Structures are given as C-alpha cells and as structure tokens.
Structure 1
Amino acid sequence: MRVPDDHPLNVTRAFRTAGAALAAVEAAREHGGAEVLDGLFELAVAETNAAVVVATLRALAERDTPLSRVAVRRAAGSRFALARQFAIHAMDRLDDRELDSAVVKLLTTDPSWVNRRAALTALAAVGRERRWEILRTADDPHWRVRHALGRVLTAWGASETDQQEINCRLAIEQFEEGINRTRRDALLAYLTYRWTGREPGDGTAFGAPDPFAVCPFWDWDAAVLAVRLKRMTAAERAAHVNAMPFLAGHEDGRVWKSAVSAIREHGESHHYRAVLALRADPRNGAEPAIERLLDGLDEERKHELTTGPFGRRSVGEREPLEAIAGSPFQRAAALTPTTAAGIVAEPTSETSWHVIEAAGRLAKVPIWEVEPLNPWTPPTVAKPSLPPLVAPLGAGVATTLVGPDRIAVSRVGVSGHYLLPVEGFVEAAAAGVNWFFWEPNYATLTAFSSRLSASDRRPFHFVAGTFEADGRRIRADVERALRELRVERLGIFFLFWVQSWDRLTDDVRDTSAALRAEGKIAAVGLSSHRRPLLVRAMADGWDVVMARHSAAHRGAETELFPAVPPGTTLITFNNLCYGRLLEPTHGLTPPTAADCYRYTLSFPQVAACWSAPATVEQLRDNLAALREPELDPGRRDDLRAFGAKLYQHEKVFERLVRML
C-alpha cells in the first residue's frame, strides 16, 4: 500500500529532498500530529545545512514536547554555528537544566566568539542556577567575550560584599588547569578599576605576546600580510616555515590558508603538530585550518598526526540517536521482521519515514513501493516584486565639497551598518542626506538603492570600500558595489582599516587610478585609526581620508587636523564611540547624539561625518545635527569633560581587556 497523496507523510517525505526541504518545513507548520514532529526531529538531527536546521528548530520550538526539547539540546552540539546560537537563545523560553548544561559547555568549546558571548549573556540572566559558570570566560581568547563578562560582573558588584564574592570566585578559578592567568588577572584589575576608580600602577604589567618575535614578516594589516604570503617564492616559504603554524591560527582566512599551504609544501611533523595543538583550546576557531591541513593526507599519516591530544574535539557530546526515548531512531532499532512487514503493508500506521525506510530494508521491499504516487512539491509562488521607491531629496541643509571632483554632499552621511530600515533611508533623503555608506552585508541599504529608479537614484552618492591589498581583488570589489547598488559610479571608494603603509602598493595605486579614469569611482580614499599614517597619506596626495574623532578620542585635533592641506577631504567616523558616549559614566550626564556630531563638525578641517543609526528614531536624533549644525559654546566644555572621563576608562579597558 502507498502513502496517500493527501496524508501528512507526503509533506514530511519532502523533508528528504534537498531543494524542497525548506518549503516543506514551512508547509508542515500548518499540520499537527506525530508525523510532522517525527519528520522535523529527523531533519533537525540530520544537519543537512544551516538554513534547514535553523528553520526546523524554529518549527520544533513551537511544539514544546520532550522530543522537540531533545532536538534543541542537541543543537547546542551542532556543527553549525547558527544552530548552536538557536539553542543558546532558546534558554529564554525553555526551563531546561540539560539545555543549561549544554550551553555551559559552549562557554569554553564553541569556536564562535559570538556564540560564547551569547551563552554568557543567557547564563547571566537573573535566576539562572548556573550563572557563576560565566566566570569560565575570564580567559577567553576574544576580548569581546571578556568585555561582556566585565560588564556583567561590574553590574553584579553593586556592594563591597558582592565584589568580594566575585573576586574570591575568580581567584578559585585561577587554579584550573590550562587557564590563561594573565587575562584573568587583568580582568580582576579591570573590575577593581570599574568598582573603585583605582587604576593599576605602572608596575602592573599585562603584556600581550609580540607577533614579530614569531613572524619576522608580520604586519598588523591582514591584507598586507596576506599579500606578502601570496607573493613569497617557494624558497621564502621554506625559509619561514617555522612561522606558519602561528599564522595558521590567524582569524583572516587569506592568511591562514596561505600558511597551511606553506606547511603542506615544506612542513615537517612538528609543524603539523604545532597547528594541531590549537585544538587544545577549541575557542581558537582553528578547526577549518586544521581540516584543510589534513585534507588529502593518507589515513595512516593522518592517524599518526592526530593521535592523543591532537584528535578532533567536538563542540559537545551527544547521546546516540537510538538511545533517545520515543524517537523514530529508537523505534527503528527495535523493529522485528514481523513489525517491519506490518509497517510496509500499512505505512500510515507509522509516523516516521526513517522507521518506514528501515522497515522496508528489513522486509526487503523497495521504498518507492510505499511512497506517495504524486510526491508533494512546493507550490509555485510568484516572488512578490516590491514597489519602486520614491525618495525625493530634501533641500536647505548645509553641504560640503568632497574629492577632486568637488561633489556636494550633506555634512552628515548615513551608514547602513546597523541595517536601518529602508524607510529610514527614504526619511534621511527627505531630510537632505544625499550620500550613504555601503558594504556588501548592508542589506537594507542595498534594497533602498535597488528599488529606486535610475533617475531617482542619480542625486545620491554611494560610498564603498575594500579590505584587500591586491589590485585584481580591489577591482572586483568595485564592480560588485556598482552591480549591487545599480549605479555607474561610486562617490568615494575607500581602502578600509589601513594599518600599514605597505598596503598602499604601486599595484593598489595603479588600480585605483585606473578605476577613477574609467569613471567607476569619483574619489579614492583610505580610512585608518593610525593618525601618522593619515598625515603621510594627505601629504602624499590622497583625495580623501577618514579618521576616528569624538569628544572622547581627541588626538586628531592636534595630530591630524592641523595637517589637512587644501583640497584634501577629511571625514570623521565613530563620533559616538559605538554609542558609549551616550551612556552615563562617573556620575556625569551623557551628551545627545546630535551634540556629538556637532562637536566634530565644529572643526573647520572636518568636511563631514558619518552616522550609523539602527532605527528611524536614532536617525531622527542624529539628523538634528544636520538641521541645526551649530554647537552651543557652553556645551563644548561639557562634552570634553565627559569625553575625558570616557577616554580614561577606554585606555584602562584597552590595556586590561582589548589588547590581551
């Protein structure tokens, strides 16, 4: 007997079809019953791809059953970072001690710092029995995780008694094997500063390792380092092979891939093992590099290298599927020839395709004999076309001229970094903003530009950039920006995050000049936190430079602003210190966002600045500086006093958290 076409098993059968799985999961949400629950569970544990797993987990989470809880707990050990992230966030909805335990393990095993930080935040929630487990992150390799821990512990230390408890618990943690005591000691010093205002003395040293001691051709600019590796001769790679295991742990894929290739070409066993030793701390995120290193080795060689402490470590251990009570896998394992024959004869008596397939194998009946005659397929749905946008450009705001072509732009531009809704960009345009900062993952800004007609898009200027240091790749980034934004020319194209003059090679300069000559970019610029580098770039004739400046970070006022020559455009960013200038500190009332922008615009050398709102409300607050750009003279001193306090905190934070 076949499964009827209108039976829920027909929909869940489509879970096993790669192209139909997502649509089938969505369709199955309309159905109840054990068929859907079993099918979703099977799909979740199969881990075919991240998107399918997360969609399946969402559907399972709507059914709070023992089996759906097992699926969520197992997701904490998934090979997909997004699935593990789903399990972490599920803690808010599920009072599940086993899930809590799984998330605790992620604090020290998840290779994604985003997930470790999310696990820390979830476990720190009020009422969690195991909230103190977050102290395991005191030596986390990524400063953003330790920063999150510092914020939580600062808040928990409301009284001297609370502070003593935290200090004692951290001191006990120090005795665990393998702990990076430098990071933990530094965190304790940072907490003392936050609670008491006392800075560690100059004799308190928390030095980070010097990469130049390991890698003589090191550069802090990952793009430069990647190009140096790429351009090495075979002899040079062989000469520097001892530095390659260190670079195999680099977070930039361009770097670690080249390092791994050099080890495969010239390395000996101890070089391989030095990379495999990164497995000692799964938080290093080095597994992709290790897999690439071992790929293609014969099994005997691979076994020799990965025995003992060098074996792969899983994110989390999970019980065998057959041991899960009430699961299809347990039922399939318990099949007998008699029960299998009964299921094949009456497949709708079973709710799981995994069990039906197992029964077919046991009864020697091909699965196509019980499948529906007309398998379920996703309904044909016309993709809704979004209506064109109309975004008339407002007038009456102050503008400035940028680049060699002297393009007139509003003194405040809007970045799409925090995915401001499309209607926010329309409102910004109506307020007089005519230039926008774009990167490939700024989906809402891409949607804004692509939905404008060619004529309506013409008044706007789009700014993009690259992290590359290779002419061919830079050209590819320009072409991609033009294509996705549907424009013929970019207003400014930046070399992002330049940390080394070696990034500005003849190849980079020639490519930039060619792109400008072709009319694909109006101006070429560079952005950097390194002010001496920007001064040199301006003296060298670069069209546009972009620098950090705020009431807290005022070094540019003495080191950079006086050096701006006529014809060079200086743009500032990070005027809110990622929002930290808007948070109370040391008992002082924070400034408004508009005043922070007014502060940087009050300097005559500053042509314009960027704002990066996440919401329309934030946009309106920011654009008050565009409507009324003048800074009240009485506010300048207040801003500087507040900024000085924040800067003091930032320097302690950088020394004790950021740089370790």
Structure 2
Amino acid sequence: MKRNRLGTSDLMVGEIGLGCMSLGTDEAKALSIVHEALDRGVNFLDTADLYDEGRNEELVGKAIAGRRGDVIVATKVGNRRVPGAEGWTWDPSKAYIRSAVKDSLRRLGTDYIDLYQLHGGTIDDPIDETIEAFEELRREGVIRYYGISSIRPNVVREYARRSNIVSVMNQYSILDRRAEEEILPLLQEREIGVIARGPLAGGALAEAKTPTKGAMDYSLEELLDLRERLRAMSSDTRGAMSHLAVRYSLAHPAVATAIPGASSLEQLRSNLAAASVPPLTPQELERIRGFSKVNRYAAHR
C-alpha cells in the first residue's frame, strides 16, 4: 500500500487506515478485523478513549500485541466520563490530558502513543494550556506527535497558527465537501496532514448499503441520483462506487490518509480494495465536483 508522510512528522502512514470506532465489543471479531487489516498493509489505526468507554483502546492494544513496532497508533482525549453519571463532559485541561494519557497507555498496552489527538475543541477552550500539555508529553516521550480531530474552522485555524500539530482529522467525502474551500488549503499551506474520516459518509456511499433517507445537504432522491452517477463512473475502471469515494477523499494533496471504518471483514476488504485502484484523474475529479454539492460550514466561523 502507498504510504504518505503525515504532515511534517516522520510518520509514514498507509493511504488507507482503519477507523476503529466501528469494531464493536466482540473481542474475537474485532481482533480478526484488525489483524487482517495489518496483514493487508494497513499500518495506521485510529481509536479514542471515548469509544465504548475505553474498550476500543483495549481491543486495539490486544490486536497489536507483538506487532507494536509495525503500527502507528492514534488515539484521542478530551471527553471525560464522570463515574456514576450518564454521558461525558468536555475537559481539555492540562491536568486531565496528563491524567487521561496514562489510562490510554495502559489500555493500549504500550509505553508511547504515536499520534495523540484532541477529540474536538471549542474556541473558548484554554488552548494555550492544552497545547502545553501536548508539548510536555512530547518532550517526555509519552507521545511522538499530536494533532486535533475537529470540523470547526475557528478551532482548526487557532491550532494551525499557535501549535505544532502535525495533523487534523476532518470529516471529508463526496457528500461532505465543507473542508475543501477553507480548511484543506490552509492545512496544505501549513504542511499539516489531513486524516480524512468518513470517506463513505456513514455508508451512504457504500455499494452494499441502499440509503433510506437523505444525508448532509442531499434529499433521499438527490442522494440516490448521486449514487447512480458514481456507480456509472466506477463500473468501467474502479470496480465499486465505494472505491471511487475513497479515492476522492485521497485526491486532495493535503490528505495523507483516509480512515473508513469496518464492522466486518467484508467491509474491511471492500475498503482496502480501493488501495489497488488508480488515483482519480483531473477530469474525473472535475466531473464529480460538477454533479456533487459544494457544502459550506455554517457555524464556528
């Protein structure tokens, strides 16, 4: 699988990684998906302490046991669970980040994290304090690099300007093109790598799943029409519509890796088949952009 440098780091990530949120809690099933991903050339795994209340990190840790040196592990922090209470609270404080990383290390069964990401963020956060926490962890060798996972333009701009982030995880697909006009160009200019999540738009662009409702700015009728156009494009040279969708997310030069999720081996194999498909041509990109919508961020300006 082709590998790309993640921003200015020395992390060389496979162009298709694995978003681990969809693995579920069945240990045997989750481990089989991760093991097959690694065997097929995936080297970038993205998890978070929030997923399944930490169980996801534990499963990833078990899956990479004995193979740690071959895997780039990314996890996230900032959503704090309060014992005995429903849900979680947002806590980007230095004290919490330094405490939470210890729990993530334990669950992952490792003594370092390759990429530690702030799992959200608002413009009202103590951003300098948050950055200080990540910088301290980096100097101590607990994490190798840090980034943010955010779709808020105002937050992305602040971290791009004030910190040493090497990556931004951002929702990006044919259905969700919001990042194209203001976030991707900025990150490309600053040499900050993009991790494209949701390239299949929650399954709306997956071959095996027929939508029953609209998505993003698309009505159901518009979405079905878009799928037919993509299917017609992909049938000759790209095998499946989902391959075309993944290749679209990878086409922007700011994007280092796309991380579709998988809850079954069949989904995983279909996603990874896109690695064998040629990149989209400028003509194909222009055609897709011609019949899909240019979404724009309405909030967090």
Which residue of 492, 495, 505 maps to 2:115? 492
Report if the CA contact (8 A) 1:466-1:477 is conserved: yes
Q: Report the residue type matching 1:559 in the other structure.
A: E
Change (3 A) 1:530 1:629: farther
Give 1:588 deviation, angstroms.
Answer: 1.5
Change (3 A) 1:593 1:476: farther
Give 1:460 deviation, angstroms.
Answer: 0.6
Q: Which residue of 2 aligns with 1:447?
A: 59
Q: Which residue of 2 aligns with 1:424?
A: 33
Q: Which residue of 1 aligns with 2:75?
A: 464
Cα deviation code 1:97-133 (max 9, x no counterpart): xxxxxxxxxxxxxxxxxxxxxxxxxxxxxxxxxxxxx
Give 1:471 deviation, angstroms.
Answer: 1.1
- Alpha carbon RMSD of aligned pairs, Å? 2.7
Q: Report the residue type matching 1:436 in the other structure.
A: L
- Number of aligned positions between the proteins: 251
Q: Which residue of 2 aligns with 1:575?
A: 199
Q: TM-score, normalised by structure 1?
A: 0.35
Change (3 A) 1:573 1:483: same
Cα deviation code 1:207-258 (max 9, x no counterpart): xxxxxxxxxxxxxxxxxxxxxxxxxxxxxxxxxxxxxxxxxxxxxxxxxxxx
Q: Report the residue type matching 2:70 in the other structure.
A: P
Alignment of 1:16-35 (within 5 A): none
**Structure of greater Rg:** 1
Change (3 A) 1:563 1:439: closer
Which residue of 218, 225, 231 maps to 1:588? 225
Cα deviation code 1:186-220 (max 9, x no counterpart): xxxxxxxxxxxxxxxxxxxxxxxxxxxxxxxxxxx
Q: Which residue of 1 aligns with 2:88?
A: none
Change (3 A) 1:600 1:557: same
Q: Which residue of 1 aligns with 2:46?
A: 437
Report if the CA contact (8 A) 2:9-2:166 is conserved: no
* Structure 1 gap ranges (5+): 1-396, 655-660
1:598 is aligned to 2:221: no
Change (3 A) 1:589 1:569: closer
Aligned counterparts of 1:512 and 1:593: Cα–Cα separation in 2:
36
Aligned counterparts of 1:450 and 1:490: Cα–Cα separation in 2:
15
Change (3 A) 1:491 1:526: same
Report if the CA contact (8 A) 1:482-1:490 is conserved: yes
Q: Is the strand fraction higher in 1 or 2? A: 2
Q: TM-score, normalised by structure 2?
A: 0.74
Report if the CA contact (8 A) 2:226-2:292 is conserved: no
1:636 is aligned to 2:289: no
Report if the CA contact (8 A) 1:601-1:629 is conserved: no
Give 1:431 deviation, angstroms.
Answer: 1.3
Give 1:562 deviation, angstroms.
Answer: 1.9
Q: Which residue of 1 aligns with 2:180?
A: 557
Moved over 4 A (4+): 632-635
Q: Which residue of 2 aligns with 1:51?
A: none
SS at match of 1:624: helix
Relative contact order, higher structure (CA 8 A, sep 6+): 2
1:527 is aligned to 2:149: yes
Change (3 A) 1:432 1:532: same
Q: Which residue of 1 aligns with 2:101?
A: 478
* Structure 2 gap ranges (5+): 25-29, 79-90, 212-219, 231-240
Report if the CA contact (8 A) 2:148-2:168 is conserved: yes
Aligned counterparts of 1:531 and 1:629: Cα–Cα separation in 2:
31
Report if the CA contact (8 A) 1:413-1:435 is conserved: yes
Percent identity at matched positions?
24
Q: Is the helix fraction higher in 1 or 2? A: 1
Alignment of 1:246-395 (within 5 A): none
Give 1:411 deviation, angstroms.
Answer: 1.3
Report if the CA contact (8 A) 2:147-2:167 is conserved: yes
Change (3 A) 1:490 1:544: same
Aligned counterparts of 1:445 and 1:472: Cα–Cα separation in 2:
21
